[in-house]
Every structure is written in C-alpha cells, then in structure tokens.
Amino acid sequence: MIQLIRGFKDVLPGEAELWQHIEQTAAALFTDFGFKEIRIPIMERTELFARSIGEDTDIVEKEMYTFPDRKGDLITLRPEATAGICRSYIQHKLYAADPVKKFYTIGPMFRRERPQKGRYRQFYQLDAEVFGSDSPYVDAQLIYMLKILFHRLGVTDIMAHINSLGCPECRPDFKDALLAYITGKEADLCADCRRRKDKNPLRVLDCKVPGCREAMASAPSILDHLCENCHVHFKTVQTALDNLETPFTIDKRLVRGLDYYTRTTFEMQTGSLGAQSAVAGGGRYDGLVKALGGPQIPATGFAIGFDRLAEIVAQAGKTYATDPDLYVAALGEAALPLVFAWISKLSETGIRAEMDFEGRSLKSQMKRADRLRAGHVLIVGDDEIEKKTAILRNMTTKAQDAVPFEGILEILRTRLGEKE
C-alpha cells in the first residue's frame, strides 16, 4: 500500500469544512479591509528566495525544496508567500498607477522541517501584504485585523507581541552593541549561532535552542538604540493599538535578521496548543521591493500558520460538516428515475439531497440516513407511486406525514428551507 510522504497530510472531509470556514472568514474580513486576492505560483526561481529570505537562514540553507529543471535552472517550491507577491508586484508594475496596494493569498508552502504537531513539510498560510505606505497606522491596522480574525474564529487566548527593528540609520549601533555582547557569550552558543554571529548577529536573538536563549536573556535591546524617527513610529503603533483596544506586549527578542526588515515586527501568540507559541507573524520590510529589483517602495504584512490555526479552532468542538438535508429512500425499480430527478433538482436549488442507487432494503437505507445524519428521509416505493404520495420523516422528532407528488419539489423546498 502506498502511503503519504512523511511530513505531508490529507485534509479529509469533516476537517475540510473547517478549513473552508476559516478561509471564508478570513477572505471576508480581508476584503472588508480593502485587500484583494492574488494567486501566485508554488514554484519560483531559487534566487528569489535566496535574496528575500537570506542565504544564511535555515530556510534557504536546510529546508527549501530546490532542484534543477531540465535546463539546469534552479527552481524552488515556495517556502513562504511574501517574496512571490513582491516579485509579482514588481514584474507587473502594479505600483505604476498607484503604489498603495493590498493583497492577500491563501495556499500551500513547502519546507523540509522536522515534522511535529501542527507543523508539516507542506503547510498552509494565510498571507496579507500592504505596499506603498510607511505609516505606523498601517502596521497597527494589520495587528488589529489579526485580532478581529482570531476572535471571529473563536480564538480568544491570543496576545500581540511587538518590537521595532529600527532602520539603516540606527541599527548599526545596535548591531555593534549586540555583537560585543555575543562575543562574551560565544562559548554558550550553538554552532549555528557562532557561525552566524559576525554576519548576522540579530539571528542569534531568534535562536530557539534553550542554551542560546538563556545566554541571550540579558542581551541589549534595540529599543535603547532607536533613532528619533523610529522611536516616534513605534510609539505611534502602540498608541494606535491602545485606541483600538488591542492588547500587546513589547518583546525585545522579536527580530528579523535581514537588513531590509525595518521598524515594526510582530507576532500573535497563543497558549491554546499548550506551550505559548506563535500562530501568526509579520512586520515591515521597507527595503525588500528595492532589493528584488523594484523601486524604493515600503511594505508590511503578515502570515498566519493555517494548520496550527485550524487545530486551535477545532478545539471548540464545533462541527462544520455539511450533512444532507434530505435522504430519499427509493424502493423498487420504478422509484429510481423519479427520485433521481427530484434529488437533482433539489440539489440545484441548495437543498442537500442524497439517495440510494443500489436498491437496498428500507431498513438498510434508514441506517445509512442515520450515519449521514440526514435531517429528513423521504420514502418512495411502489405503494407511494400508486398513491402518488411520498412519506416524509423528520429524523430528529421521528414525526412523519404524507407529501403529494404534485408540487413535491416546491413543498420540500419550503419544508426543508431553500438556500441561496
């Protein structure tokens, strides 16, 4: 028997309806906030991710699915969505008429990480990006939008963690102070952090190895090195969140290691899966569009871990499966063509109708209707055809009554509730 590749998963019926609920809730909210959907390829040139994510990151060094195509060009299954959206924004000159653009996308990403609960090698993200504005109010609105989304999905154990990364003017002083501190702690750091410290010391702050986290506990904070403009920007974000009644905590360990990430960075963290963990993260990347060959245009955005979010939403125990409104028990050959036409017409108008095509007994069909959790059963056999009257049974109350064949579709739509 051929089985799944390790680190991949099937989204089965029952769970798929939950995913649809999350997607529809997110798409409706993003649309209300002025975002438009963009769909980007799952494969891009490897250079795009090396330049956007960084060649010395774990993602590029260890986790990307990269391979040569038949011409020998390196291509990569996308490990995240921001780079592809930036590439599309630049390639199609979407900034030409108006640089301010808001996009969202939903889809699969690929990283060869160690599989664990809530983390897969094909994983899904909800991603939102705003181009063309460097306003701190845009950053605050993204965080607020995330809070609203989680609350609409019933996720209340959520907290925004925010930090500022400064800008090219103030970050060099912080890097110097951080590197001096790291040098004194080098013996306590993992091999990756010792290797990265000179080229990218901010990555050491982000290391998840317990020994590194302990060693960096008293590291300098970039908030003590912000220039006046970055300080005002960060304070404005905080004031805007306060005005929007959006709780947050300032987290000096929250960083992005690449130079084009600037100012606001944030995560939405929850304890719903046990240990406190991030279910969404984002921030400002004012230098990325230019780094990828476009004009100097600021941008900011976030990504939500869909798989992890689905696990959290599922904890509420609510069922999103779409059960049949009606199961039609067709008894005998004469009933089949008649019933088949009925369920087809009912389904067309939004009544979820199922039937038995195999000619099973009434007892077997009633059992199947129970398994499908059908709301009602319509019984049509030779006797019903002769009398031109079907029997409609409410599977909850067990009450049943006769329904005439004449006008039966309209009667059923009224009784069962026609849907838009």
Q: Characterise 126 by phi-psi region: left (phi > 0), alpha (psi -120 to 50), beta (else).
A: beta
SS3 content of the chain, % helix, strand, coil (to 5): 40, 20, 40
Residue 177: other Cβ atoms inside 10 A: 17
pLDDT for the residue numbered 321: 77
What domains appear along the chain, each with residue ranges and CATH number?
Answer: 15-170+226-314 (3.30.930.10), 326-416 (3.40.50.800)
Residue 166 in tokens:
């400064």
Q: Where are the beta strands (DSSP E) in 275-409?
A: 277-284, 299-305, 326-330, 353-355, 376-380, 389-394, 400-404
Q: Which residues pair with 401 in a beta bridge?
A: 392
Q: What residue type is assigned to position 369 of the chain?
A: A
Residue 97: other Cβ atoms inside 10 A: 7
Q: What is the pLDDT along the chain (420 residues), one digit of tens a residue?
A: 999 998 899 999 889 999 999 999 999 999 999 999 999 999 999 999 988 877 666 677 778 889 999 999 999 999 999 999 999 999 999 999 999 999 999 999 999 987 676 678 999 999 999 999 999 999 999 999 999 999 999 998 899 999 999 998 998 888 888 888 888 877 888 888 888 777 778 878 877 788 888 888 888 888 989 999 999 999 999 999 999 999 999 998 888 766 678 999 999 998 876 655 889 999 999 999 999 999 999 999 999 999 999 999 998 778 787 889 999 999 988 999 999 999 999 999 889 999 988 888 999 999 999 999 999 999 999 999 989 999 999 998 999 999 999 999 999 998 887 543
Residue 218: other Cβ atoms inside 10 A: 9
What is the pTM (predicted TM-score) of this model?
A: 0.88
How far apart CA 168 and CA 252 sit, in angstroms, is 18
Alpha helices (H) in 33-105, listed in sequence order:
46-52, 58, 82-91
- Residue in this structure with the two tokens 């992890």, named with its chain if needed: 308
Cβ density class 198-209: b for 16+ within 10 Å, e for less: eebbbbbbbbee
pLDDT for the residue numbered 56: 63
